[in-house]
Amino acid sequence: MAESRQPHFETLQLHAGQEPDPATNARAVPIYATTSYTFNDSAHGARLFGLKEFGNIYSRIMNVSDESSLTLEGERANHTNSLQPTVDVFEKRIAALEGGVAAVAASSGQAAQFMAISALAHSGDNIVSTSNLYGGTYNQFKVFFSRLGITTKFVQGDKPEDIGAAIDDRTKAVYVETIGNPRYNVPDIEAIAKATHEKGVPLVVDNTFGAGGYYCRPIEHGADIVVHSATKWIGGHGTTIGGVVIDSGKFDWGKHGARFPQFVEPSEGYHGLKFWETFGNLAFAIRVRVEILRDLGSALNPFAAQQLILGLETLSLRAERHASNALALANWLRTNDNVSWVSYPGLEDHPNHGTAKRYLKRGYGGVLSFGVKGGAAAGSQVVDGFKLISNLANVGDSKTLAIHPWSTTHEQLTEQERLESGVTEDAIRISVGTEHIDDIIADFEQSFKTSSAAHT
């Protein structure tokens, strides 16, 4: 029997996870501004709290959804039903875009990342991570997780053999970014997944710079869990903080039960329920929701979810322009006398260009860095001289943004850690927006003219 035709990304971003509202026939996703949901009777409430029946409870305490709920891809996707109907649509849609079986939204990318790791590692355990990380991630792994007794083994670079060698009996996850921030390294996800799976460890990939699955879908290449700061390209307009965890449904928690007893042994919080036995390939997402999110309280609110849903509806259009503008700007900067170097995976001289061509099929991302002749002082003058481009700590906005990572996003790291992460004192990071490329370049030209870089 022939398989049914699957919708394209551009269609899923508009339709996945939602039908017209059955009560009002509204076509747009309603904002369900409610904290809680009525029970049919006392027995109904008891069944919901005991995970014996699907349904909504409270906008932090949640359950699992009806198994008839499908994405347009026809997958059993996101039966972990949201704490909240508006959030539920967002979760189903991003799960469909990434090719996962379920998603769990969070109040921020940092919260999503924390939930994913907390579901895997406990005190005395460790995770293995590349050192090529966003500064906030590096600090969370190095400082905060260590307070909980979870150690991070930072591997210099992202060679699969080095990552595999760092795994031991207490390793509970391997963590990489699809496009490293700020080095823009593109790891060989398939090779890293193979190295981690040989040791019985899941691969967690931060796909924030992969733009909601538009540039890259890590699950297709062996990733087990994907996390996003939805604040960035998913939201796309600098209006909303949010995050999300996507479960591939492919990791066999039962086979690796000795390493992950929390999925195969009776749950203390649910009268002996066993997640793997009860929920199968949805076990990870459901445990994140009902044992981690429930107790952390890092729930995404419905107003934020609606903003993120609107962002998803134009994601492919924006991501295409982000990438084309970034490549054009990178090529222009390479020929500018005020610039000492440019880093962007779309450039042929980038050390990971070959890997980028393999994994980033629809553009090389929307962020680049460059060095200004004259060092940090000249770089600050260039950033301060921009008129169109905004100096702020974000990426993925439709507007072009600039920042000096050494003194901002990676400031909490030591000098050696900053260098190991790929941050140099002269580097300026540009999140390239969707404005006309001629106007972006014109702002660079006028700023260069007034900075000391033009006189070095």
The CATH superfamily label for domain 317-455 reads: Aspartate Aminotransferase, domain 1 (3.90.1150.10)
Closest Cα partner for 417 from 109, 163, 123, 137?
137
Give me the pLDDT at residue 76, please. 36
Query: Cα dist. 121→91, 244, 266, 318 in Å?
Result: 24, 18, 17, 36
- Is residue 180 within 8 Å of 130, Cβ to Cβ? yes
The rounded mean pLDDT for the chain is: 92
Query: How far is residue 374's CA from residue 225's CA, in Å, rounded to a whole number?
Result: 42
pLDDT confidence band for 80 (50 / 70 / 90): very low
The two three-digit tokens of residue 224, written as one number? 């087990």
pLDDT exceeds 90 at position 306: yes
Bond into 182 cis (ω within 30): yes
Which tens digits make up the pLDDT trace of 166-199?
Answer: 999 999 999 999 999 888 999 999 999 999 999 9
Judge: domain 9-120+202-312, CATH 3.40.50.300: no
At 20 the three-state DSSP class reads coil
Query: How far is residue 330's CA from residue 363's CA, in Å, rounded to a whole number?
Result: 13
Q: Which amino acid is at 29?
A: V
Query: How far is residue 211's CA from residue 11's CA, in Å, rounded to a whole number?
Result: 16
The two three-digit tokens of residue 151, written as one number? 């150690």
pLDDT confidence band for 30 (50 / 70 / 90): very high
Query: How far is residue 66's CA from residue 306's CA, in Å, rounded to a whole number?
Result: 22
- Using the structure block, give the residue that is written with the tokens 């035709």: 5
Q: Where are the beta strands (DSSP E) in 117-183?
A: 126-130, 151-155, 171-177
Give me the pLDDT at residue 293, please. 95
The two three-digit tokens of residue 350, written as one number? 């980038």
Mean per-residue pLDDT, 35-47 = 91
Number of H helices, E strands in the chain: 18, 12
Mean per-residue pLDDT, 154-163 = 96
H or E element in which residue 118 lies: helix 109-118
List all residues 6 or more positions away from 163 whose beta carbon is below 8 Å from its beta carbon: 128, 130, 155, 174, 176, 192, 195, 196
Bond into 7 cis (ω within 30): no
Greater pLDDT, 57 or 117: 117
pLDDT exceeds 50 at position 278: yes
Give me the pLDDT at residue 61, please. 63
Q: Where are the domains of the chain?
A: 9-120+202-312, 317-455
List all residues 6 or more positions away from 87 whose beta carbon is below 8 Å from its beta carbon: 105, 299, 300, 301, 302, 305
9-120+202-312 shares its CATH topology with 317-455: no
Query: How far is residue 390's CA from residue 403's CA, in Å, rounded to a whole number?
Result: 8
H or E element in which residue 190 lies: helix 189-198
Query: Cα dist. 184→56, 277, 406 in Å?
Result: 41, 40, 16
Which tens digits make up the pLDDT trace of 202-217?
Answer: 999 999 999 999 999 9
Q: Which residues pair with 173 in a beta bridge?
A: 127
Closest Cα partner for 406 from 394, 390, 418?
418
Which tens digits make up the pLDDT trace of 230-259?
Answer: 999 999 999 999 999 999 999 999 999 999
Query: How far is residue 183's CA from residue 2's CA, in Å, rounded to a whole number?
Result: 44
**309-313, 358-362, 363-367, 370-374 — which is least confidently predicted?**
370-374
Query: How far is residue 341's CA from residue 332's CA, in Å, rounded to a whole number?
Result: 12
